């Protein structure tokens, strides 16, 4: 296949992937704790066919990873007792089928066993014990103070875990706005309880997606895709005309 066409096709493939990422951002604009994502691209050199002149190396484009903006989203007041939001750095931790997962989505509730759980029933982990937090369903007052300490009728019954991840590049997206950490058993990579975190009761963190920005990027990608398509059509027409002329000469 012609080198120019190959280069154009690789660009179209990354544009389609970029469009999928932006569409996912827009779809999650109202998802609590969601962090906006972007496609990371790089040049991929490749040798050309043998020739007498011209470049000796081509530059294709490929995606090598996903970038995430972990900046804080706005905090919305809900007034619900077990809704909590982190102000600043850190992640909540939940136990999902025996695996620790980390999230900024603090829409918690209690289950039938009195455990503090996430929306899908995954137990929220205590900062000190890394065990599920058990609450008294008969308590007359439940207050969550700064630092995530849960007070029931004046007694501390647990502390909602807020953990800092030393290297966020090791975080792998698992869906539902959650992440796991690669090599979390390594002391250097293991998430650690945050020092004096600020936890707001009755608030939920919104997504940090800026819908207008994402829509603008989407339109830009569409225009670029159309330009590349025109380039590919022109390159194909040029090849056809060259073959036709060679045929007439021979």
Helix (H, G, I), strand (E, B) or coil at 129: coil
Q: What is the mean pLDDT of the chain?
A: 86
On whether the CB atoms of residues 61 and 44 are closer than 8 A, the answer is yes
Handedness of CA 109, 114, 120, 122 (dihedral sign): positive
On whether the CB atoms of residues 102 and 93 are closer than 8 A, the answer is yes
Burial class, 225, CB count within 10 angstroms (exposed 0-12 / middle 13-18 / buried 19+): middle
**What pLDDT score does 12 carry?**
84
Top mean-pLDDT range of 45-59, 100-114, 172-186: 100-114
Residue of 185, 193, 114, 191 whose CA lies nearest to 148: 193
84: which strand partners?
201
Domain spans, the chain? 3-70+209-249, 75-205
Q: pLDDT tens digits, residue range 51-110?
A: 555 555 667 677 777 889 999 999 999 999 999 999 999 999 999 999 999 999 999 999
Question: Does residue 236 have a pLDDT over 80?
Answer: no
Query: What's the CA gap between 169 and 145, in Å, rounded?
Result: 31
**What pLDDT score does 188 carry?**
76
pTM exceeds 0.75, yes or no: yes
């Amino acid at each position: 296949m012609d080198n120019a066409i190959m280069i154009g096709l690789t660009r179209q493939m990354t544009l389609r992937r970029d469009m999928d990422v932006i569409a996912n951002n827009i779809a999650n604009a109202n998802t609590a704790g969601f962090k906006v994502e972007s496609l990371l691209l790089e040049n991929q050199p490749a040798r050309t066919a043998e020739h007498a002149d011209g470049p000796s190396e081509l530059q294709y484009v490929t995606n090598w990873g996903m970038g995430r903006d972990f900046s804080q989203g706005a905090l919305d007041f809900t007034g619900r007792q077990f809704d909590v939001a982190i102000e600043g750095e850190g992640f909540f931790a939940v136990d999902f089928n025996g695996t620790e997962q980390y999230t900024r989505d603090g829409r918690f509730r209690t289950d039938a066993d009195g455990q503090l759980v996430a929306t899908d029933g995954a137990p929220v982990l205590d900062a000190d014990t890394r065990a599920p937090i058990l609450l008294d369903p008969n308590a007359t007052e439940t207050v969550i103070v700064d630092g995530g300490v849960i007070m029931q009728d004046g007694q501390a019954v647990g502390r909602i875990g807020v953990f800092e991840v030393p290297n966020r590049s090791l975080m792998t997206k698992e869906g539902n706005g959650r992440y796991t950490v690669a090599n979390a058993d390594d002391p250097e990579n293991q998430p650690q309880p945050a020092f004096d975190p600020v936890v707001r009761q009755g608030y939920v963190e919104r997504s940090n997606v800026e819908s207008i920005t994402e829509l603008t990027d989407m339109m830009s990608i569409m225009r670029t895709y159309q330009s590349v398509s025109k380039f590919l059509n022109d390159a194909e027409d040029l090849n056809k005309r060259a073959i036709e002329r060679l045929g007439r000469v021979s």
